[in-house]
Structure 1
Amino acid sequence: MSDQSTETDGDGTATETEATDRDVRLIGHRGCADQYPENTLLAVRESAPHVDMIEIDVQRCGSGELVVFHDDELDRLTDATGSVSTTDWETLSELTVLDSDQRIPLLVALLEAVPSETAVNVELKHEGMADEVLEAAGAVDNEVLFSSFSPTALRELRERDADAPLAFVTNESPESSRSIATDLDCVAINPDYEMVLGTSFVADAHDEGLAVNTWTIDDAETAERVVDAGVDGLFVDRWDVV
């Protein structure tokens, strides 16, 4: 497990090393969603001792608060129905996640629950949250990486903070994805793991100065293959997969 970086040679060009010589950052996807109720205070507290970074999802609910919840709809993770975007916080705050007693948290509460030595990847599910997300992240001492599938959401962050570390999340078109990431001055690109296997994706991203964090790794064999491909980080649903 390591810092978010790639090795470079004397002239600053990113270089690949053998998997056995590389430290790869372990990232708990939704707080290790196969082991704990995802995106909850319990998940981040329990997974934090075992990972370098915890990934969480943020979106705006019907009454305007920023909540940590992945799905657009409530029915997979709770006993309620309807969309997060049309449900007010008073209602959401009473719901529990899966078969646990854990409730849907506000972004500010979840960030406060992460130990300061553990990094956080805040994935923005949509645009229109930049100011509040940056404010929430600025209130904690953790290293925070901001990511999104939405170039617009990332651009809003960049316009408000020239130094905010950004990552573009993608599962299509390697060339255009790298172009978006470099245009937004991202520090990383987060692709579906299938995009890095048997391709030049990692080397090309490193040539652009981008770290590569790949998702979502469910077994040790796949983990070994993507590490061999040169990635810098693994999103995992179980911290014991590697």
Structure 2
Amino acid sequence: MQEKPSMLRRRFLAGTGAVTVGATVASGAAGATSSDRSESESERKDRATVIAHRGFADIYPENTVAAFEQAVQGGSDDAADRRGADWIELDVFPTCDGEIAVFHDTELGDLTDTEGVLYETPASEVFSAEVLESGQTVPTLSEAMEAIPPNVGVNIDIKDGSPDVQFGRVDDPESEREDWKWLETVVDISTSYENELLYSTFWEGALATIRDIDPDLPAAYLLYDSIQEGLDVTDEYDTEGVNPPLEMIYGTPFFDEDAYEEIDIVAEAHARDLPVNVWTINTWYEVEQLIEAGVDGLFLDYSEIVRWGGLQS
């Protein structure tokens, strides 16, 4: 198993005051040449880590090999004509016969030409399913990892692999351990590559299982309906990141005061020396407001929305 990488902790980019998450190479030019990556951090305009949500799902057929290959093309300068991903976010499910699929939805039918619940469907059917009439099929986790260069981080978003697991917090995570056994395969596959990794999930049972498999695996809880609960889980499992939705970022125009406690999650995370990676960002204005608020990573469906602020800096 890999050591817990200290690079997942916050670090400030020289001369900018912006913060990012990941290895030095992860904040460098994804898909660029080594000479491109040698430029000093103070010269770059990678003001926050660009995380390609499902491989930039608004540009490419989501969670496909082609999407991942395209998402990493480009540089780390926000003002560049093409901004490449520093990290790739992808989703994982098990098939009914134990293979690991990269796919977001429980039901195959909304995004592919195949019907059925993914974890109740055999691998032969899952991996032949065409995604959004793109000519691309649902990939295995191994195929996805092969498509992502080793200098690009991978956020593995763990979905439920059973109808018997509880979303969010659970009274006895150990009671679900057998239902999450498939995560051993996820870990075996993903850690055989050189990429920095972060395992994230909405399911406490999955987070507990990752910690059980190896306490040093980098993990993050995906916050959803309570900031305080998310921070409690973060503390309990000593996670390496805090991944909240856009509406939880206090002090921005997007904060939903009717839904969430008035807690400054960025300040709380940074007090714990943890990066804040916010999902899912769709406009340049959201990017600029979040960077101003001090967030570290941005889950984006479209990379070029960082361009306006890059041109101004």
TM-score, normalised to structure 1, is 0.90
AA partner of residue 26 (structure 1): V
Aligned with 1:118 (options 149, 152, 163): 152
Question: Which runs of structure 2 are paired with 1:1-242 in the superposition (5 Å)?
Answer: 4-7=8-11, 17=17, 23-49=47-73, 50-126=84-160, 127-198=180-251, 200-242=264-306
Question: Deviation at 1:48?
Answer: 1.1
Question: Deviation at 1:4?
Answer: 4.1
AA partner of residue 62 (structure 1): C
SS in 2 for 1:216: strand
SS in 1 for 2:72: helix
Question: Deviation at 1:183?
Answer: 1.1
Contact 1:74 1:80 in 2 (8 A): yes
SS in 2 for 1:105: coil
Contact 1:68 1:106 in 2 (8 A): yes
Question: Percent identity between the aligned chains?
Answer: 35
What's the CA shift string for 1:180-235, capped at 9, x where partnerless? 01211111011001101425111012112321100000000011111111111000
Aligned-CA RMSD value? 2.0
Which consecutive residues of structure 2, in runs of 5 or more, have no partner in the other structure? 1-6, 20-41, 74-83, 161-179, 252-262, 307-313
Relative to its length, the structure with more strand (as a share) is 1
Question: Deviation at 1:76?
Answer: 1.4
Q: Matches of 1:4 and 1:167 in 2, distance apart?
A: 11
Question: Deviation at 1:18?
Answer: 6.6
Which consecutive residues of structure 1, in runs of 5 or more, have no partner in the other structure? 9-16
What's the CA shift string for 1:140-163, capped at 9, x where partnerless? 111111111111101111112121
1:197/1:57 CA distance change after superposition, 3 Å: same
SS in 2 for 1:145: strand
Q: Report the count of equivalent residues.
A: 233
Question: Deviation at 1:5?
Answer: 3.6
Contact 2:9 2:273 in 1 (8 A): no
SS in 2 for 1:211: coil
Q: Which has the larger radius of gyration?
A: 2
Question: Deviation at 1:113?
Answer: 1.2
Q: Matches of 1:217 and 1:106 in 2, distance apart?
A: 27
Q: Matches of 1:104 and 1:18 in 2, distance apart?
A: 36
